[in-house]
Structure 1
Amino acid sequence: MKIYTRTGDKGKTSTYTGQRLSKDDAIFNALGAVDALSSHIGFSRVYCKQGLISQDLKSIQCNLQDIGSVIATPSSKATMQQLQNVSFSSGHISSLESKIDIYTAHLPPLTNFILPSGSECSAHLHVTRTLARSAERSVVPLLHQHGGDIETVFKYLNRLSDYLFTAARYVSHEDGVPEEIYTRQTIDDSK
């Protein structure tokens, strides 16, 4: 099978349901944001050698592949079989929440805003967290247009950014790199 099909050369491409849509449709914007997020998670994995975090990130990438399938299958145009093929369990949200709770238990309480920084792995996770928020925002238009598992996908992406924030803190803590606290920068205007 060739990687190129030439079917998208005129600015349209197909959903899983076979519907031909413009490549700038909200579905494809969301798919692109989720793909960028997964790619950066893969990039983060290069720097994150902590066993549990690395395993989590690989599992998350697999979940993001499934999320892409949900996004590419508008429920209003899908058959029951297609919807069954792409279902996404809310159990994935509970799993992220459990991991957040486990890592948080090893961290000092968060009493200030912190700057995205830390160890190399932590810094990558902070960037990845921002991409999770972007992917989450890209799914909002689909909440209004499509039913099905899109709401579960949206909640998962919301929780994923929380997980990535916590994982970034946890990694820095485990690496012995102190968190940098936000301080308001003031300028003496009298000079």
Structure 2
Amino acid sequence: MASALPKKSQLYTRTGDKGESSLYNGERRVKTDRIFEALGAVDELNSSIGIAHHYCKKSANGLEEQLIEIQCNLQDIGSNIATPRNDASESQLRNTLFDEGHIEKLEGWIDTLDSQLPPLRNFILPSGGESSIFLHQARSICRRAERTTIPVVEANDADESVLKYLNRLSDYLFAAARFAAKHEHLEENLYKKAKSGREATVQTRVL
């Protein structure tokens, strides 16, 4: 007796096969729209922080819970971006509001981390062990997420608090990367301009 076919998964809907997708308010836009560009960058940022979290947890540097909270905030930012503020209902706006209190909390974390680090007198290269390097990578992706979100906010499709959070988050990730290197007593590579025709030298510093 033939076995019954499995029930269709809800993971695919086929509704986006022609290059369009729906926003939270039901509006459909092409997937190259600025909103989906921003959503994609924020999603990539969230994934990269997930990698950093894995290595931070392995090193037990104390950043794990903060990173999880940030990932949850990025999910909320995605909801805000996916809900154009000009064309959403009152309940949709309430459900996707991004509280500026998250920004103040992030600033407090930055202040705490930075107070434990030596003053920065040189440009540094992404380095300092796995936790630090992946936090630096997340910082770079965060800058792109911020850039792609600017036109969305300017068009009043997302709240300004979202943009402020992403701007502050890149600062947090920089401080967190340096803190992670310090926790593991690993070297940061310092930038040094290479002279033409000569082999570049690498300077390091243990935090």
Determine whether 1:56 maps to 2:78: no
Answer whether contact 2:35 2:152 (CA < 8 A) is retained.
Answer: yes
Q: For residues 16-165 of structure 1, what are the structure 2 equivalents within 5 Å?
A: 16-49=24-57, 50=60, 52-146=62-156, 149=159, 151-165=160-174
Q: How far, CA to CA, are the matches of 2:194 and 2:31 in structure 1?
A: 43
Match of 2:177 among 165, 168, 185: 168
Structure with the larger helix share? 1
Q: How far, CA to CA, are the matches of 2:157 and 2:23 in structure 1?
A: 15
Deviations 1:20-41 (A, max 9, x none): 1001000000000000000111
Deviations 1:49-94 (A, max 9, x none): 2353111110000000000000000011101110000011101111
Runs of 5+ unmatched residues, structure 2? 1-8, 199-207
Which contiguous aligned blocks of 4+ residues in structure 1 show a shift greater than 3 angstroms?
none
Count matched residues. 188
Shift, 1:44, TM fit:
1.2
Distance 1:22 1:93, change over 3 A: same
Q: Secondary structure at the match of 1:172?
A: helix
Q: Secondary structure at the match of 1:21?
A: strand
| TM norm structure 2 | 0.88
Q: Secondary structure at the match of 2:99?
A: coil
Q: How far, CA to CA, are the matches of 2:102 and 2:61 in structure 1?
A: 20
Q: How far, CA to CA, are the matches of 1:140 and 1:109 in structure 2?
A: 31
Answer whether contact 2:85 2:158 (CA < 8 A) is retained.
Answer: yes
Question: Which residue number corresponds to residue 186 of structure 2?
Answer: 177
Match of 1:3 among 2, 11, 27: 11
Quote the sequence identity (%).
Answer: 51
Distance 1:186 1:75, change over 3 A: same
Match of 1:15 among 4, 17, 23: 23
Letter in 2 for 1:8: G
Q: CA RMSD in A?
A: 1.3
Runs of 5+ unmatched residues, structure 1? none
Structure with the larger strand share? 2
